Structure 1
């Protein structure tokens, strides 16, 4: 019998992800104000859209060096500046204390925890080395290790089979509306994450806590 569980996205849910702040810190000469930061983020990250350079990095088909070369060629930024951004991401992904407390409460309520994250291989390695609480999760999928990325339907099917859970009885939590829509289309229950406080309120309302 498949199980009921809670499945977390990582970036923007479990870990901080504030790309404009990141760019302002790493490349202040190019991100001097909000408008410049937003423009730079779009040029570098391309909204993480399917088919983008960063999506290929998430999928594991492009490594760090090739990613830097691609972005530098496409944007006109110096390769050293692009590499500085790429290498600054892992330490930027700080744990969000509210989500950590929420996961602790779910564990105390004996709900199995899993993760489903679009994450390049070097970033996944970094998170595993630096965060002992990842052992709280029964299992998880990093996109680069399976060659699939959200919002593709195949990654939700892969997670369902690998985790051995019933997606219609489980809950997937993600901060990107497109991923929520894709999960629901794949038969998952899904919650759009806007903050730990609101997330906890919904979980209590739904009887998880």
Structure 2
């Protein structure tokens, strides 16, 4: 099986923690954070980035539209690496163990192209994939079927050849509809167990 499988990994909350609420709780306190998220649709702002709009432009435009929250919104750009942290160390080790065995590992992530390049300079493992399929480059975001089709076209393999780990059930559902084998990521330990069950890593390699 190892010479047939392509492992496909989400990045946010699979390889790097992505918890903006936690970041803002630490920066401005939970009360102000809740008020900020109620007043400004920050998830929609982030989706615009994921679809390929300019990283700084979208965030600063949003900040200017909400002057009472301007400084806090700009942190999404100015302190972005602190939002996208820390790395999930065991997941990184598992990715490297797979690649050490010659198993192809691709990224499939909703990510701004600009912020992905920024992240690569900070997290060197993001430059170690066989290929990275980044929504901001492709102009389409998960769970649109087109983004999964782009991965299949790049790997040249049918749906069942792909083993996909993602933390969002909606992304998993669409992948399953294309025949992909899937793993709903809820922690690196469970992902390690799945890789062992798939025969891709031994227990020692997954430790």
Q: CA deviation at 1:168?
A: 0.8
User: Paired residue for 1:119?
Assistant: 111
User: Paired residue for 1:5?
Assistant: 6
Determine which of 81, 101, 119 is the counterpart of 2:72.
81
Q: Summarize the Cα distance change of 1:158–1:98 in structure 2 as closer, same or farther, 3 Å threshold.
A: same
Q: CA RMSD in A?
A: 2.3
Runs of 5+ unmatched residues, structure 2: 202-207
How many residues matched?
198
Matched, 1:66 2:58: yes
Distance 1:101 1:130 in 2: 17
Secondary structure of the 2:165 match is strand
Using structure 2 for the length normalisation, give the TM-score: 0.84
- Pairing 1:67-146 to 2, within 5 Å after superposition: 67-70=59-62, 73=65, 77-93=68-84, 94-146=86-138
Distance 1:186 1:92 in 2: 32
Deviations 1:37-62 (A, max 9, x none): 4564465455x4xxx33211111135
Distance 1:37 1:95 in 2: 23
Secondary structure of the 1:161 match is helix
Q: CA deviation at 1:122?
A: 2.3
Using structure 1 for the length normalisation, give the TM-score: 0.83
Q: Is the 8 A contact 2:55 2:115 kept in 1?
A: no
